[in-house]
Structure 1
Amino acid sequence: MALHLATLHSDLVGRAHPCHPVACADRGQSMLSQIMSRAEAAFAAQTPEQASLSFFAAVEGLGASYLQTRFYRRPTMRLTSASHWAAGGFITRVAPDTWPGSSAFDYVCLECNPLLTAIRESRTRYRFSDFAPRHDQGFKAYWDAMSEANIYDALCATSYGPDGSIASLHLGFPEQDLAPEESFAIQMAGLVLTERLISLSTPPPATPPKLSARERDCLALAADGKTNWEISVILSIAEATVRFHIDNARRKLGAVNRAHAVACLLNQRLI
């Protein structure tokens, strides 16, 4: 069975209605092509810096104007804006020259970082505006500060490794003009990047995880964008059995959710 990179529509994109398994195939392949076109160079890179810059080069034409990548360990002390910043691990930053060290920069990094909730909840993909709604006046100062970096909103991807290690990508855009599926493809490609950052910074496991044939089949179909129901139809098994196999695969891979499991599978060359 061919294995591809994508993820479940229902869990990760929030599409309201499943399509027939056959009808979904072309759309899944199109999404796969978008994801791989943005992730391929980063996946082939041999250093964290090269991976970060290769990824930015692949998405700059879509309007991206800001990038920050990090690999760090989650602070053992209480997670605050300051302790999160002090954890360091900055790999690459593409930003206006006047941004780092400015009062606006210090404000969002040291005083008002709404993205800490994403770390506490082990989120793997999100936007800045998910945690700092633009219509909320309580975040007006935050967005005023972000505007100095020419950021209207940013797409984020985060991977969680062993011993509290975290690799993150922040990709800023000056305008809100990306279609939902384009945003999804960029974030999934971003997860390939953050998994690559972890693998370049930590030794591979002594014994790679071994998935059963059924676990591989279920996760592969999930990667093609199939819902649990669609997978159950294709494999002629119960929907509950599909959930069981995918969750087993997720645990073996040490992934926090299905999207993370797909990225782990690709990065470890198990796909």
Structure 2
Amino acid sequence: MVSNMQHDFVSALSSGIALDDAMEIAQTVLRPLGFDASSYDFSPVPLTHDGEFIVPTVYAMQNTPSDMTDLWCGQHYYAHDPVMDASRETSCPFIWTYRGQQSDIMSRILDQRHRPVVDYLCDTGMESGITVPIRGAGGALATFTAISTSRIDIDDLNNAVSSVGYLAHIFHEAVVKGFPPQAFRTPHVRLTARERQCLQLCAKGLIAKEIAHELGRSVATVTLHLTSATKKLGARNRFHALVLAAHYQLLETTN
């Protein structure tokens, strides 16, 4: 059952609300549930074609240590966070804790690769929480995490799962509408507008001569753009470039 405070939370989250404002509002609801910190991230394309995590385009934290954002985004802790690995495998909210009984999914996920992240969270007292994976159009992935630094037990975590899951989805739907256009473009591959346009037309079946006619450019110029895009994508040939461009959502005309 959703409490009155949670109803107030829903009412306060207007569509397109600033992310930092939404984080503060969310924390007022999470605190009575035993969570005194939180984080949120959004990735339009969460993984490279090789299966490695891409640093999200949107990242926010509330009541966390000052160095945490740099560690996760600047020093690649994000790519070694067991919570993110678990989020690849489930769309359901899940519990994690680094003391006592562990949830089933985290028991399967945890290994030595995650040791720096686990050590940091334990050293800073952020030993338990609930993470909610949220999947969006085109394979986008957001996660909302409620974090506890108190001695919250597994039963309390289990009792809070449905509430945190509900709030996370309401939160995401409110803030995502206020993201700037660049938040929906992967930072992993950077093509020029013309390179993307040439790839988009190539994906429609046009050959270089037809693309040149469509754009009012020479065949040599179009070929140069396609070759440059192929190299930036790390593709072996033009067909491979189209496959990779589709993975990174670069063929969408709205990008």
Question: TM-score, normalised to structure 2's length?
Answer: 0.52
Shift of 1:55: 0.4
Q: Which amino acid in the other structure matches residue 158 of structure 1?
A: P
Q: Which runs of 5+ in 1 are unaligned?
A: 1-30, 204-271
Check conservation: 2:24, 2:62, Cα contact below 8 A: no
Check conservation: 1:42, 1:50, Cα contact below 8 A: no
Distance 1:89 1:72, change over 3 A: same
In structure 1, what is the equivalent of residue 95 of structure 2?
127
Q: What is the RMSD computed on CA atoms of the aligned residues? A: 3.4
Shift of 1:202: 8.2
In structure 1, what is the equivalent of residue 6 of structure 2?
36
Distance 1:49 1:99, change over 3 A: closer
Check conservation: 2:95, 2:157, Cα contact below 8 A: no
Cα distance between partner residues in 1 of 2:139 and 2:126: 29
Check conservation: 1:73, 1:164, Cα contact below 8 A: yes
Shift of 1:61: 3.4
Check conservation: 1:155, 1:172, Cα contact below 8 A: yes
In structure 2, what is the equivalent of residue 50 of structure 1?
21
In structure 1, what is the equivalent of residue 66 of structure 2?
97
Cα distance between partner residues in 2 of 1:108 and 1:76: 16
In structure 1, what is the equivalent of residue 142 of structure 2?
167
Higher RCO (CA < 8 A, seq sep 6+): 1
Cα distance between partner residues in 2 of 1:97 and 1:192: 27
Question: For residues 19-41 of structure 1, what are the alpha-carbon distances to aligned partners after superposition, in whole Å with 9 as ceiling and x for unaligned?
Answer: xxxxxxxxxxxx13368347425
Shift of 1:153: 1.2
Check conservation: 1:42, 1:55, Cα contact below 8 A: no
Cα distance between partner residues in 2 of 1:122 and 1:151: 22
2:152 paired residue among 176, 191, 195: 176
Distance 1:128 1:68, change over 3 A: same
Cα distance between partner residues in 1 of 2:43 and 2:82: 18
Question: TM-score, normalised to structure 1's length?
Answer: 0.50
Cα distance between partner residues in 2 of 1:102 and 1:66: 17
Question: For residues 23-79 of structure 1, what are the alpha-carbon distances to aligned partners after superposition, in whole Å with 9 as ceiling and x for unaligned?
Answer: xxxxxxxx1336834742553362222222210122123332321111221234333
Check conservation: 1:158, 1:169, Cα contact below 8 A: yes
Cα distance between partner residues in 2 of 1:116 and 1:148: 20
Question: For residues 211-270 of structure 1, what are the alpha-carbon distances to aligned partners after superposition, in whole Å with 9 as ceiling and x for unaligned?
Answer: xxxxxxxxxxxxxxxxxxxxxxxxxxxxxxxxxxxxxxxxxxxxxxxxxxxxxxxxxxxx
1:50-199 correspondence runs (5 A): 50-74=21-45, 75-80=47-52, 83-84=53-54, 86-101=55-70, 106=75, 108-110=77-79, 112-129=80-97, 130=103, 131-133=105-107, 138=112, 142-174=117-149, 175-177=151-153, 178=156, 180-199=158-177
Check conservation: 1:67, 1:172, Cα contact below 8 A: yes
Q: Which amino acid in the other structure matches residue 59 of structure 2?
A: F
Cα distance between partner residues in 2 of 1:69 and 1:121: 18
Distance 1:123 1:98, change over 3 A: same
Check conservation: 1:68, 1:171, Cα contact below 8 A: yes
Check conservation: 1:41, 1:54, Cα contact below 8 A: no
Check conservation: 1:43, 1:51, Cα contact below 8 A: yes
Q: Which runs of 5+ in 2 are unaligned?
A: 98-102, 182-255
